[in-house]
Amino acid sequence: MSPSKKSLLFSPLTIRGVTLKNRIVVSPMCQYMCEDGMVNDWHLVNYGSFATGGVGLIVVEATGVEARGRISPGCPGLWKDEQIEPWKRVTSFLKTQGCVAGIQIAHAGRKASTLPPWIGRDSIDDKDGGWPTIGPNAVAFGDRADKVPKEATVEDIEEIKKSFVSACERAVKAGFEVIEFHFAHGYLVSTFLSPITNQRTDKYGGSLENRMRLGLEIADSVRKALPQNIVIGARVSVTDYVENGWDLKQTIEFSKQLKKLGLDFVDCSSGGIVSTVNYGPLNTNETHLTAAAAVQKEVQIPTAAVGKIIDPLFAEKILQDNGATLIFIGRAFLNNPHWVYTAADALADEKSFKYPNSYNWCIGWQNGGKWRKEINTDKNNN
């Protein structure tokens, strides 16, 4: 980036009155550390470390709208009021660090009732603590997630839509200002969207209009139920990586309809619909970036770029090229919760980035930024 050009990565962004201090977002990453859907000290420390690292927005992990919608027994939920206060403890701390709290609201559908990944992702039998699952049709995901879901009735669908609204209302009470629907990766809504997994013959299956119906009805119901200052977006899989599956063209149409309903951004991910293709091949990054740029251009809605973004200069280039509006980062933050500090060395100054006070006095821009200047001078000389 030219020295004279202002960094977009460290520029604030305001949506519906909610201001992010920069465009860097912690992508939702499942932790599998809950009991009965309740978050705990692990979540406070995990998300708190990112907040002290200077990130603008944290979108916490996939949170179930009902107990049946959890991926695993260790996943969080917002299907009952008792789950509000533990989340509020987390969001309150994030706000003290100038970080906006977001949450990914989800229903795992036929990929629910599975073991944590470090054990094997196998389906858990009901007699061993698992639970019945649900999907557009009575077809299992496959591989080790072999539990056959119940085919959702229209009555089931109505209850699920209500569960999304109730969970989102609880999220607002818990202090979240940004909500992201998880409409990707082969979870419930994703399986309704994809022609690979949706073989229904009623109003929720067949044509693109019908396959989009559940996701759009959820989005519409939630947008109408929540205060207008709550930012709402959706993560979508832009491709199934399968012939005759969900693709970018359908993603663009779905995004247009979401925008009409008042959604504020689209987070472009991919895959997860079939057991033989998890979250995309080696060119996942290119697939996501191409889609994020296309959706942003065609739909005129802010998009999030996600997938193996590690280099701050590359993140900046994505924004400068109008390839996205937000940069979602996952694994790089697990490797370095203070990744933003590294990005600030290359792209920020005392006006666009500030360390927490407890750090700023010794490594920040204090005393004319002497310490930062030394670091940057050494870096330039090397």
Average pLDDT, the chain: 93
Mean pLDDT of 239-253: 96
pLDDT exceeds cutoff 50 at 221: yes
In the chain the domains, ranked by start, together with CATH numbers, are 13-348 (3.20.20.70), 354-382 (no CATH)
Mean pLDDT of 45-55: 98
**Rounded Cα gap, residues 136 and 132, in angstroms:** 14
**Rounded Cα gap, residues 83 and 17, in angstroms:** 27
pLDDT exceeds cutoff 60 at 40: yes
Residue type at 188? L
% of the chain with per-residue pLDDT over 70: 92
Residue 91 pLDDT class (50, 70, 90 cuts): very high
Quick one: pLDDT at residue 370?
45
pLDDT exceeds cutoff 60 at 32: yes
Quick one: pLDDT at residue 364?
76
Mean pLDDT of 357-370: 71
Residue 4 pLDDT class (50, 70, 90 cuts): low
CB 71 within 8 A of CB 108: yes
pLDDT exceeds cutoff 50 at 71: yes
Quick one: pLDDT at residue 283?
54
Quick one: pLDDT at residue 214?
98
Quick one: pLDDT at residue 367?
47
Mean pLDDT of 207-223: 98
pLDDT exceeds cutoff 60 at 281: no
pLDDT exceeds cutoff 90 at 371: no
CB 61 within 8 A of CB 105: no
Mean pLDDT of 69-76: 98
Mean pLDDT of 69-81: 98
Higher pLDDT, 236 or 375: 236
Quick one: pLDDT at residue 279?
55
First to last CA, the chain: 18
Quick one: pLDDT at residue 312?
97
**Rounded Cα gap, residues 301 and 107, in angstroms:** 25
% of the chain with per-residue pLDDT over 90: 87
CB 218 within 8 A of CB 263: no
**Rounded Cα gap, residues 168 and 27, in angstroms:** 18
Mean pLDDT of 192-208: 98
Residue 285 pLDDT class (50, 70, 90 cuts): confident
Quick one: pLDDT at residue 115?
97
